[in-house]
Amino acid sequence: MTYDYSSIGFYTFDCLARPVTAIPPGGHTYFVEEITMAVSGAAGAAAVVAAKYGLSVLAVGGIGDDLMGKWVIERLGHFGIDTSMMQLCPGAGTSSSIVTTRPDGQRPALHMRGATGAFEIAAADIDKVLDARIVHIGGTGLMNRMDGAPSFALMAEAKRRGCITTLDVFAADRKDMANVAGLLPNTDYFIPSIEEAQALSGLSDKADIGKFFVDLGVGCIVMTMGADGAYYHHRDGSRFQMPAFGIDVVCTCGCGDAFNAGFATGLVKGMNPEDCVRLGQASSALNATGLGSQAGVTDFPAALDFIARTQPKIAAPSIARAV
């Protein structure tokens, strides 16, 4: 296949500032220590991290005819990402966020949905979009024209062609369940946050949530759990919780998206499930050490070195093997 990773969906321009403790009243000004820009989003940030790790990446999404869109394309190109499937969407601005990063790393944001809801994949482009070892849909629930039947058909065709398929959502809740459920039978790995998984399923316990989604047809669900690590629940009975790394958090923007790319890189490189999750965890942790998506991620050898020299928050993962 031409690409290792086809990353489809939510691409956004982010302007981030830190530390932000309050919005100034009236026309006043507060000073911050750092301001930066980043390509973010469940597809965009994942695409950049995968490219930094040496994967050949195709970006598939939408931009507007504006300065933000031009910068997003330039920035993706800087990392060697093929942007030929990034559509210019007339009448829509580039999806963009103003991110106010708190001292503890949390990142309340003001977001304009923009072109993520306006792009669609034409039948003539299917061959190129699916010419990848891994097909990732990131941002289900935001893609107005692609959510539902178009995404269901795309994922089914990806599976028919033998691609590995991965799925992530954005701030999903119960109303997004129909969009997610239609994708699950053709999804190998569903990678939401535990908060998103809880909201979608209406359940609270991670094992119950895992069974819920496996019963709906997904091959495996991997839930990111912030400081509590990540939980892997496969339909073959394998399940484990992997601890997070102990780090000083700067910004959590894009941590889940970095996990997606790290996990996918592990799959491309033939790693076992535990090592795939560990690489995802390392990618998320490194992401959190800088301001903005991917800021702390450099390359694959650096991620492996981080794993080797950084202690997890607890001594060892809890693992249950399939029988």
Place of tokens 């930094």: 52
Edge-to-edge strands, sheet with 132-140: 82-88, 57-63, 3-9, 132-140, 164-169, 189-190, 220-224, 230-234, 239-242, 318-320
Residues listed for the chain: 323
Residue 319 confidence (pLDDT) above 70: no
CA-CA-CA-CA torsion sign (135, 141, 145, 149): positive
**What pLDDT shows up at residue 316?**
47
Q: How far is it, in rounded angstroms, from Cα 67 to Cα 304? A: 36
**What pLDDT shows up at residue 313?**
75
Q: How confident is the model at residue 315 (pLDDT cuts 50, 70, 90)?
A: very low
Overall pTM > 0.75? yes
3-state class percentages of the chain: helix first, strand second, coil last, to nearest 5 = 35, 25, 40
Task: Write the DSSP symbol of residue 297.
Answer: -
**What pLDDT shows up at residue 176?**
87
Q: What is the pLDDT of residues 52-71, one digit of tens each?
A: 999 999 999 999 999 999 99
Q: Do 116 and 95 touch, CB atoms closer than 8 A?
A: yes
Helix (H, G, I), strand (E, B) or coil at 41: coil
Which stretches of 123-250 are assigned E, i.e. beta strand?
132-140, 164-169, 189-190, 220-224, 230-234, 239-242
Residue 237 confidence (pLDDT) above 70: yes
Residue 29 confidence (pLDDT) above 70: yes
Higher pLDDT, 320 or 242: 242
Q: What is the pLDDT of residues 100-143, one digit of tens each?
A: 999 988 889 999 999 999 999 999 999 999 999 999 999 998 99
Residue 73 confidence (pLDDT) above 90: yes
**What pLDDT shows up at residue 105?**
85
Q: How confident is the model at residue 311 (pLDDT cuts 50, 70, 90)?
A: confident
Determine how many CB atoms are found less than 10 A away from the CB of residue 323: 6
Average pLDDT, rounded, for the chain: 94
What the block records as the tokens of 5 is 């990773």
* Among candidate residues 291, 310, 313, 265, the one with its CA nearest the CA of residue 17: 291
Residues 6+ apart with CB under 8 A from 217: 184, 185, 186, 187
State percent of the chain over pLDDT 90.
Answer: 87
Task: List 100's β-bridge partners, or say none.
Answer: 17
Residue 302 confidence (pLDDT) above 90: yes
* Among candidate residues 131, 171, 175, the one with its CA nearest the CA of residue 42: 171
Q: What is the pLDDT of residues 159-186, one digit of tens each?
A: 999 999 999 998 777 888 999 999 999 9
With left for phi above 0 and alpha for psi between -120 and 50, is residue 78 left, alpha or beta? alpha
Q: What is the pLDDT of residues 75-104, one digit of tens each?
A: 999 999 999 999 999 999 999 999 999 998
Residue 277 confidence (pLDDT) above 60: yes
**What pLDDT shows up at residue 106?**
87
Q: How confident is the model at residue 293 (pLDDT cuts 50, 70, 90)?
A: confident
* Among candidate residues 183, 179, 185, the one with its CA nearest the CA of residue 215: 185
**What pLDDT shows up at residue 318?**
54
